A = this chain, B = another copy of it.
Amino acid sequence: MKKIVVIGAGAAGAKAASKAKRLNPKNHVEIFTQSSETSVSLCGLPYYIEGTVKDINDLIIRTPEEFLKNGIPVYTNYKLNKIIPEKNCVIVNDNPVFYDELILALGARVNIPNIENVNLNNVFSLRSLKEGIEIREKMLESKTVLLIGGGYIAIELMQAFVANGLNVSLIEHNHGLLKDFDDEMSDIIKDSVENRCKDKVKLHFNKKVIKFTSDEEGNFKSAITQDGLEIFADFCILSTGIKPNVEIARDAGIKLGVSGAIYVDNKMRTSYKNIYACGDCAQKYCIITKKPTYLGLGTIANKEGRIAGINAVGEGQYEFFDGILSSSITSFFEYTFSKTGLSEKRASELSKEINIEPISATVTKKDKAGYMPNSNNMTIKLVADKRSGELIGAQAIGCASVIQRINTVTSLLKTKAAVDDLLDLDLPYAPPFSGSVDPILTAAYQLKDKLRS
């Protein structure tokens, strides 16, 4: 019997606690969270704001009562004050709690940019149900909104706002949307968004917001960029990324990784053998480069939580987390954007360091048999290492079915497969689902020609 204390009840904490309890019901497993909710799907918030998800409570995957039913008490509104590894003790709401194994699922918070007056009324970020409700309420009484940032959440919120009749301005300091895609793919994403919603969306790139202005009551009025552009809107969303919650762990002497997140080994152990970290507070490793990286996603949190839970229980059963591929997907109405592994840009940056020579092939082709009336163009880019012949990444833009292609490559990246493995891959085919030569195979054939030359 062990006492396992989990700090945090997001995807990682919830999964770790559940797994640990299920593996050995004799274990005492307790969750402490500073939130009043447990196991919330933050990824669902844009769809609540849009109105697709009607009841925000649907985003609560598991309530504290449900955890308790499974033998896991959850202490909500409990703030973590301190970790004392030497004493196997955490201080929560100023009270000591002792543990045999500690699982840190501390999550992340919004990366608030350095903007003058950033704390005005009607400036929102999106990291909780409460903020989701506030944004939806504000949206319903507004005509214009300004989004700061051009990443995944920004695109999903842009759809929500356009669908609700708002005019959307977006300011991104980089030179395009979804900058983890290669530039020419990011350009197609930009064009897709602008073509879909010409009159409702205005995108501004390469601009840095330095100041917000307000009315007399302290309500957001406009954003002013470094180069003097002023954009007015009824409200503003900071969609400027996240940073891991690491301060209390760091102050306790728990090692941080080069990414700034908590260092973990492949058992999800921190620098203390009986302290685990998982989810948005923990450092990630890229399967392809073997290098530390950082990315906060619920899917990864789930997997890491599972591993942390299993290994905290121990009892001879250990599992290892192999790392991530930074796979992602998002959509703007019927347009879908998905990627996995390294972009060509990123691979080029790393080429000397990890000894690769990136090459790529990009194909635009119908996603179904060309004669099917609902077939649509899909653009797919494959990236490989010319030296080893191994695939290292893929990006795709098209309809929802881009995910079937990216999933395919995700599996191949995981097993370090070569371009050759994709060439004769026996993918299922029928005219409503793909072409008899799938776009991804066409891209692989082109890549093969480049490998040969």
Contacts and interface: CB of A to CB of B under 8 A. Distances in A.
B329 A428 contact: yes
A298 interface: yes
Given A302-B437, A414-B421, A328 B53 contact: no
A428 B340 contact: yes
Interface in A326-349: 326-331, 336, 338-340
Interface in A379-419: 400-401, 403-412, 414-415, 417
Given A47-B432, A414-B417, 14 more contacts: A44-B372, A47-B371, A47-B431, A54-B373, A287-B426, A300-B426, A303-B424, A325-B426, A327-B428, A329-B430, A331-B433, A407-B428, A412-B414, A414-B425
Contacts of A340: 426, 428
A299 interface: yes
Given A53-B372, A372-B52, A426 B327 contact: yes
Interface stretch (A143-151, A186-194, A219-227, A316-324): A316-324
A427 B410 contact: yes
Given A407-B428, A424-B322, A298 B436 contact: yes
A326 B11 CA distance: 37
Interface string A17-40: 000000000000000000000000
A272 interface: no
B371 A53 contact: yes
A362 interface: no
Which range contains the number of A residues in contact with the other chain?
A: 35 or more
A428 B408 contact: no
Contact of A324 (B303, B406, B426): B426
Number of copies: 2
Interface of A: 11, 41, 43-44, 47, 52-54, 58-59, 152, 156, 287, 297-300, 302-303, 306-307, 317, 319, 321-322, 324-331, 336, 338-340, 369-373, 400-401, 403-412, 414-415, 417, 421, 423-434, 436-437, 445, 452
Contact of A431 (B41, B404, B452): B41
Contacts of A11: 436
A327 B425 CA distance: 10
Given A302-B436, A400-B433, A411-B412, A371 B322 contact: no
A298 B428 contact: no
